[in-house]
Amino acid sequence: MNQLEQLKQHTTVVADTGSFHQLAAFAPQDATTNPSLILKAVLSPDYAPLLRDTVAAHAQAPLADVVDAVLVRFGTEILKLVPGRVSTEIDARLSFDSEATVARALRLIALYEAAGVARERVLIKIAATWEGIRAAERLERQGIRCNLTLLFAFCQAVACGDAGVRLISPFVGRIYDWHKKQARIEGRAWDEAARSGANDPGVQSVTAIYEHYKRHGITTQVMGASLRTTGQIVALAGCDLLTISPELLAALQASDAPLVKRLHADAAQALALPAVHHDEASFRWALNEDAMATEKLAEGLRAFAADAAKLDHLIEEARR
Residues known to be catalytic: 125
Could you tell me what percentage of the chain is helix, strand and coil, using 3-state DSSP and rounding each to the nearest 5? 55, 10, 30
Which residues have CB under 8 Å from 274's CB, separation 6+?
none
Strand locations in 152-259 (E): 167-170, 221-224, 241-244
State residue 141 phi and psi, 5-degree precision. -65, -20
167 vs 46: CA distance, rounded Å: 31
- Sequence letter at residue 285: W
Distances from the Cα of 181 to the Cα of 118, 177, 189, 224, angstroms: 43, 6, 11, 21
Distance of CA 124 to the CA centre of its chain: 10
- Least Cα distance to 125 among 152, 104, 96, 155 occurs for 104
The answer to whether 242 touches 227, Cβ cutoff 8 Å, is: yes
- Least Cα distance to 71 among 92, 100, 99 occurs for 92
Three-state DSSP state, 65: helix
